[in-house]
Amino acid sequence: MSRSTLRPYYSLRSVILAVLSPVVLWVSAAAVGADTTRPVIEKQDDLPRHTYTVTGQATALYTSDTRDQLLTLAKAIQADIENDLATYDIRDDNTIQGFYAVLGTVALLEEDWQGYLDWLAKRRALETKEANRLTMGLVGKAIAQARLSGDTSAEAVGQALNELVTGLPYATVGANLESLKGRTEILSRALVLGSIESNYQPLIDNTAGEISYDVASSLVSASFTLDYFLPVAQTVNAVLSETIAANAVEKEDIWQARQVTLEEAGEPVVMAIWDSGVDTQIFAKLNQMWTNPKEIPDNGIDDDDNGYVDDAHGIAYDLHASKVADMLYPIGDVAEDELALQKMVKGLGDIQFNVDTEEASAVRKKMSSLSQSEVKDFIESLSAYGNYSHGTHVAGIAAEGNPHARLLTARMTYGHEMMPELPTLAGAHRDAAMFLEVAEYFRTQGVRVVNMSWGGSVRGIEQALETHGAGGAPDERKALAREIFEISDKALRKAISESTEILWVTSAGNSDNDIQFDEFYPSSYDYPNLLTVGAVDLAGDETSFTSLGKVDVYGNGFEVDSYVPGGNRIPFNGTSMSSPQVVNLAGKLLALYPDLSVAQLKEAIIEGADEKALETRSIRLMNPRSSLELAASLP
């Protein structure tokens, strides 16, 4: 794997992708039922590779003069999708949904409105999350219905949308409608085109115009946003605003009654936050920071001769897996704008969840005024601050209400640029060495539980290689990506599986995907000493973004309040926030019952969780009070 392609699973990136989701799809696309007559595909990496040619400026595809060029590209993609669906038995509903979404966009390009509705119905039939199924393609459906009635006006779309949302169970779909409303408030043509230019133009230039299915399908899908969504965005916003205002009911908070705050009695517990770094001063003042008694801080010397300089509160590695001493992510050029970025991040979250605040108003004003050329710097600045604040926010959740928590920082540095660094075999070997060194450090220092709110996939590496025009022909690039992935994947698996006295806790991810089919690491791993955590909201309802496939337990990932560097507190959203809540519970269990084995610890967390029935399956919601009661009875 390449850490330039790793991503923390937190609110900011989720919000940005939610806003740009009609544009930046990176679509990959189970046939219903098994078919023994066709080759079976059980991993995303086994999907066939297709290439297409797009030359010149990517943004030039979206003019009336180039519509035929875009339609030609779309028809080529359609042919490949139809062939793959006929040829292979693809065992992943999300992948098939992605295929159907692109086919629906092709129908729109051809002004085949009924065809679009037919593809939307097929997408919905495969969706297991009720809220997502009910709200999938709402605006597209309203547009298609208006066009079928012969009325192309925004008013007709608004009337159709109003009829659609009026019949929905608001308690189920409210969060999704609020998120859609937030998107309509900040999405603009400049933002869409700026994103396309920043994400795909370097790739087109580096590959002489030969692009993968992922890129080509994203370019085609952007036409829906530009041609159909944006022209009616104000009307959509008005309908959603009225619906939300008429139905706004504050959800019941199920989490407050489940929480446990420990008193002074208990044993210290070393808990590692393997993340983007932590503002150690915050937790040192709270007496929750782990301290290396053999190291003199900030003297530039490896006092205990363990290979790390100034590891008074933990260890750190830069983007290229070199050891450094700084415990915080290097915020760089945007440091002087830290407070403004902090407010911007909060405002984005407020918009996503329909909270009308001063920060939300400032974000609307800022994003609506962005020119196409300003988009890249704006998003990268926000991403840099998001990485900078991520680890501290996670640490605050993990330590909340536990005076016995002793946080050990292990800083991993993520890339924040829209164009990731080139993945290499040499880089993978450096990452592999780092993973093993970090695990060894955890074992040496007596770490009992580790939080990992991050992840990536082999496909992410392949996409980064393509961006640089590296790796050769598509099949060669696929093979190189797999080789890079397996070097450090093997090391990370070794680090976790051989650290049997440590409970490793990882977030499932925010891509609403099957993490096993997509081979996301480390969330798809299955080890006795690892837990994968999904996200629900305040009321325990499954979030639209949480990934699926292998999830052991769910925690709150909605508007979770915690520290950011400097000591302020901001609510973030994502499985990055639900994962450290399980770590928090593990820390409290170990503080009260320090002799618990990893197996017992895992049993207390999972068996103490409440089972919640959904339409097609059931999930487990963590319950700290029940888990603590269960732990007391374990032998």
**How much is the pLDDT for 342?**
86
34 pLDDT band, cuts 50/70/90, is very low
Q: In one letter, which amino acid is 9?
A: Y
Span 75-130, pLDDT tens digits: 999 999 999 999 999 999 999 999 999 999 999 999 999 999 999 999 999 999 99
- Residue 12 predicted with pLDDT over 70: no
CA angle 199-205-208, nearest 5°? 130
d(CA 598, CA 354): 41
Indicate whether 64 pLDDT > 90: no
* Cβ count near 137 (within 10 Å): 20
Burial of 13 (0-12, 13-18, 19+ CB in 10 A): buried
Q: Where are the beta strands (DSSP E) in 318-429?
A: 323-324, 405-411
Residue range 118-144: mean pLDDT, rounded? 95
Q: What is the pLDDT of residues 385-436, one digit of tens each?
A: 989 999 999 999 999 999 999 999 999 999 888 889 999 999 999 999 999 9
The pLDDT of residue 367: 84
pTM comes to 0.92
pLDDT in tens, 35-51: 457 899 999 999 999 99
- Over residues 560-570, the pLDDT tens digits come to 999 999 999 99
In the predicted structure, residue 26 carries a pLDDT above the cut 70? no
Half-sphere exposure of 364 (CA within 13 A, CB side): 16
Backbone dihedral region of 12: left (phi > 0), alpha (psi from -120 to 50 degrees) or beta?
alpha
Residue type, 78: Q
At residue 24, the pLDDT reads 39
Residue 355, pLDDT score: 63
Compute the 3-state secondary structure of the chain and give helix, strand, coil in percent, each to the nearest 5: 50, 10, 35
Query: For 243-248, what is the mean pLDDT?
Result: 90
Question: Which of the 8 DSSP states describes residue 225?
Answer: I
Average pLDDT for 64-75: 91
Give alpha helix (H) positions in 403-524.
Answer: 425-444, 458-467, 474-497
Taking residues 212-218, report their average pLDDT: 95
> For the chain, how many helices (H) and strands (E)?
21, 18
Give the number of residues written for the chain.
635
Average pLDDT, rounded, for the chain: 91
Closest residue by Cα to residue 560 from 394, 367, 408, 439: 394
Supply the pLDDT for residue 32: 38
332: confidence class by pLDDT, cuts 50, 70, 90: confident
576 in Cβ contact with 10 (< 8 Å): yes
- Domains located in the chain, CATH noted: 30-247 (no CATH), 256-328+389-633 (3.40.50.200)
Q: 140-144, 269-273, 510-514: which range is least confident on average?
A: 510-514
All residues at 6 or more sequence positions from 151 whose CB lies less than 8 Å from its CB, including other chains: none
Token readout for 154 is 């925004």
Query: Nearest to residue 3, comparing CAs of 488, 382, 351?
Result: 488
pLDDT at 28 over 70: no
Q: How high is the pLDDT of residue 29?
A: 36
Q: pLDDT-based confidence at 20, cuts 50/70/90?
A: low
Of 150 and 34, the structure prediction assigns the larger pLDDT to 150
191 three-class SS:
helix
pLDDT at 25 over 60: no
Q: What is the mean pLDDT of residues 7-22?
A: 54
Please name which of 26, 90, 31, 94 lies closest in space to residue 545, comparing C-alpha atoms. Answer: 94
Q: What tens digit of pLDDT does each residue of 583-621 get?
A: 999 999 999 999 999 999 999 999 999 999 988 889 999
Is the pLDDT reported for residue 336 higher than 90?
no
